[in-house]
Structures are given as structure tokens and as C-alpha cells.
Structure 1
């Protein structure tokens, strides 16, 4: 069984799309389709069936998908151990970087490059869910993940814990408030996170807990673009507090969301009981030295204006715009 065909098949199942899988693997869709077909021919049974827009695994497909992940993880570990026979004078390490937490890891990346200039440091830019799956499958050694994750599968080094804040245009009805209950945003149009991002599910669950389903008018995985859409009047957004601190206070109103608070907890994750190369362990050591300072300084709550009201209870009688 060809590993490449197995890898393509696993990616198609993860993404539930031949097109998206091809983009992730940097090949054409016909290549993906051909390799999956060759895998089915070799096994002698179909692995995937289409049910409307969804793909359904056959009995054989479930076995190949489950065992295939183990095979790919074992192959990745074998390759890492063989590559690790050398010293830290050379080699490579790939780090998963989520789009919403990328700036958190910049100090560690810079310090690692300075300390180990001959190690090829590669960045895998995907959402936290894709990074988590890649860690479990063994395709990645280290990556930024949004907590919580399965502690039976992934060990973590916490980086920062923040909460999401409301981001609205300046001179909005939120200006004089210190905090905003999530439920009062029920009728607002939301600029939301991409469906592939773990934060998408976190915010959706919080909205359900507050008793409503959000009206989504746009999606992005990049905080600055989300803020730009808010400034353009497309809708409101919920962003981690540190990014709100970077926004121009003359253009935006940012307030903590409560009832419930929505946590944003970032960590570095690696596969529990998995093999970590010398290069990966070195990067983790650098991260331990550099990231806590970043989390404790730049990534903090933005101060509230002196004229902010102590509570948002007065919003109860307002009709959402």
C-alpha cells in the first residue's frame, strides 16, 4: 500500500472534500481522486460514498481511515528518529501556527532562529483543529492549539488565557458600558470565525448557551480583517482581548463579553507519548523561556475608559439594532 495514497485518503476524510484536500496537500484534485481510486482498487472495495454534499465511509473505509492514521503516525515517527541521529547543528522542525494565535509565537520563532540558525524551521499555518489532528496523526511534532484538547492524546504547555471581547464601531451603544452580556447581541450581525477554526465552535456554543443562534454575515480567520469588516459597518465581532488592545480607540469600541465569558486559551501541544526530535525539544525549551513573557505583557486586557458604566444591565430595555 502506497503511503502517499493513504495520506491523500486520510486528508480527504478529514476535510470532507477532494478539493480542500488537494489544496492542503498542494496537488491537483485529479491527483487526489486518482490516488484514492488506486487505493480502492488495491483493497478491492469502495472506501467512500457520496451522500449529498457529505462523504460517508464504508466499513472498509472506516478501517482504512482508523488504521491509516496509525500507519502515517508510525512512519512520521520513524522518519523523525532517523533524522534525529545527527546533532542540533542541522535538521528541521515544523511548527503548527494557528492564524488567530500566530503573533503569540513570534518571540520563540525569532529566538530559535537566532540560537539554531542551521536548523530549518518550517511553519504549518492551519486552524487549531487541523493542527490538533496533525499532532495526533504524527504529521506534526509541535503546534499551537486552542484549549481544551484531549489530554489522553495531547500534552500541552499553556501559553496564555484570555477572554473574547465585543468589537464594534466607535460611537456605538456600547461606548459607556464596562461589559456586555452575550445575550444582548442576539439580534446583531456577526463577523465570525472560519468554520475550520476551533474558535468557531467555541463561540457558537457560547451563543447557544446564551439562548440564540448568531446571524453570521461574514467569516475570516484573521483578526485584522475581521476588525476591518467591523469598521466598514458589516457587523460586530468577538475577538481575543489582546487584539482589541491593538485597535484604534477612536475607531472601535471594545468591551468584555460576559454571561458567559468566552475563553481563549492557547497552548503548545505535542502528541502524548510520541517521539520528539532533538530539534523539537530544543524549540520547546526556547518556547518555555520566551513565551510566558509575551503572554504576560503584550497579551493582557485593555484598560476600560474612565466614563464606562460598571455594568451592562441597562441594555436589558434596549432593542438591538
Structure 2
């Protein structure tokens, strides 16, 4: 028994006419009649009473008709769910991220929530280069927001934006009152820096080396959040991405910019080149790479072709 046989049967019953049903189904009437006879032969009893005046269900036919309606309805639901799975995947997207994007990503997620309200988003901190590649290779995330340029044949990496690295100091620190700082001013200061494997650490150390300024690394930590708390306790100074603060005033810290080309970094979006992405996830990745403007309606990303 095939689904199309049940569809033919239900259509004939609903229209009470073989000729009308044949037109709707784009079949010849003899083909439709043969299909119904084959179904009756398969189930082993008559489904329809055919008279010159009307067409009606037999008692047994009523049972089959009721079940056929249920099956066809469930089939319609299944087809819709298949489309949704193809479009949305499993209904969730996992994005790896670095700390400083916390003030950049909310506008992206606000747009995504409007465009794809049924999609769930999981944000996971993925910080050093090895973890980025591992998370992508093991399908733990669909994409990563990172400050590492991932130069590998199996990855696609796109620059999103640049951000300055800013010096943060306790307000009571003597350097806080200085109008403009140089790297030389930071010589011998107890420095708080991220651990090995972090691109920001490499960029800061390189900036000091190129300026021939000795650097005193006193504390090594994993997160900018911890660095900030240590600076607030006035036990050292540090350099972290300016965008981490999103231009917000923080009276517990003094934030200063040093004019050094090394004290900038690029934030990238990277993902596996050959991984299948459902359109709903492709839309999020596309939105990250193309900032939304008044000329970029939500419908651009939500039209299901």
C-alpha cells in the first residue's frame, strides 16, 4: 500500500466523483479507477459503493477512510518537519567566541531572534588557536569568532573588524594621571597578561619587544574578566581589547590608548569549508560577515527557496 493510493482514495471520497478527483489529481479517469480497484484488491474488500447516482463509502471503507485521513495528515506534518530540519538543522546553532565580542554580538543575536525565532543559540568560549581548530573539527561549534587567523585549507576565515588594545590602570596608580602613555612608561610595571596560546598575549609581547621595552610579567590568567578584577585591586596593570568595554565609563578603571600598530587586533569568523550548514545557520554566518543596514531587510535571509 502506497501513500499515493490513499491520497487517490481520499480525494475520490471527498469529491464524491471519479471525474472530479481525476481532474484534481491530474490523472486520467481510467487510471484513477484502476488505482482504486488495486487498493480494494490489496485490502481484500470493497471500499466504495458505485451507483449511477452517487458514490459512497462501504462500512469497511469508512474505517479505511478514517485511517487514511490520519496517515495523510501525519505525512503532511512529516514533510513540513523535513523542510524545517533541512532549513534549520536541529533547531540550534553553536558559536565559539572570544570574550571581547560580548559587546559586538548582541546586535547580531537581536537580528537573528527576529529572523529565526525558533532557533536556539549556544555561545561557548573558545579561546586559543588549538581549541578553535579542535572545536570546529569535532563539530562542537558551527563557527568561531576568534582573533586567530586560521590559515588552513579546510577552513574559511573572514576578517570582521579591527579593535584597539587599551592599557587599563587603577585610578590611584601614578600613570593614571599622565595624559598620554607610551610603552616605555610601562617598563618595570607589574603586568597582568593572558596565558600562553593566546594571540593577544603574543601581540602585546611583540609590541614591547619591537619597542625595546622590558616587560615584567607578574601574573598570568585565562580571562579578561579576571585581569580587570586584579587591576581594580591595584596589584598590576594590563592591556586588553578596548571593545571589551564598549566605550562605557568605568570609574574603577582608567583606560588609555597607546599609539602602536602592534596594539591592535583583528577579529575573524572561521568555520569548516566543507561542512553542511542548514540555511538558517548559513544566514547567521552571512549576517556576521555583512553588517545589517537599513537596506538589508530581514527577508533577505529568510526567503526559503
Q: d(CA) in 2 for partners of 1:104 and 1:128?
A: 19
Answer with 174-183 or 114-123: which moved more: 174-183
Query: If you compute each CA radius of gyration, which structure gives the higher value, 1 or 2?
Result: 2
1: CA distance, partners of 2:293 / 2:149: 19
> Secondary structure at 2:277's aligned position in 1?
coil
**SS of the counterpart of 2:118?**
coil
The answer as to whether partners of 2:163 and 2:264 remain within 8 angstroms in 1 is yes
> Superposition pairs for residues 255-270 of structure 1, below 5 Å?
255-270=256-271
- 1:108 aligns to what? 108
| Deviation (angstroms), 1:145 | 1.2
**Contact preservation (8 Å) 2:126, 2:144:** no
- Following TM superposition, by how much is the alpha carbon of 1:269 offset from its aligned partner in structure 2, in angstroms? 1.4
Within a 5 Å distance, the mapping from 1:13-162 to structure 2 comes to 86-88=86-88, 91-129=91-129, 130-136=131-137, 138-150=139-151, 152-162=153-163
CA displacement 1:273-321 (0-9 Å, x = unmatched): 444332320211332455789xxxxxxxxxxxxxxxxxxxxxxxxxxxx
Deviation at 1:259, TM superposition (A): 4.2
Secondary structure (helix, strand or coil) at the match of 2:93 reads: strand
Residue 178 of structure 1: how far off its partner (Å): 4.7
Q: Which whole-Å CA distance do the structure 1 matches of 2:293 and 2:102 have between them?
A: 15
Does structure 2 retain, via aligned residues, the 8 Å contact 1:230–1:236?
yes
| Distance (whole Å) between structure 2 residues aligned to residue 131 and residue 212 of structure 1 | 31
Q: Structure 1: which 5+ runs fail to align?
A: 1-81, 294-321
| CA deviation after TM superposition for structure 1 residue 219, in Å | 3.3
Could you tell me how far 1:114 is from its partner in structure 2?
A: 3.4
Task: Please give the secondary structure, in 1, of the residue aligned with 2:86.
Answer: coil
Contact 2:164 2:263 in 1 (8 A): yes
1:71-115: CA deviations, max 9, x gaps? xxxxxxxxxxx9996233853221112223233222222332332
Partner of 1:246: 248
Deviation of 1:256 after TM superposition, in Å, equals 1.2
- Whether the aligned pair in 2 keeps the contact of 1:210 and 1:260 (CA below 8 Å) is no
- Structure 2 Cα separation of the partners of residues 238 and 226 of structure 1: 9
What secondary structure sits across from 1:211 in the alignment? coil
Task: Specify every segment of 5 or more residues in structure 2 that has no aligned partner in the other structure, as ranges.
Answer: 1-81, 295-305
Alignment root-mean-square deviation, CA: 3.2
Q: TM-score, normalised by structure 2?
A: 0.58
Return the alpha-carbon distance in structure 1 between the equivalents of residues 133 and 214 of structure 2: 27
Question: Cα distance, 1:205 vs. partner?
Answer: 2.6
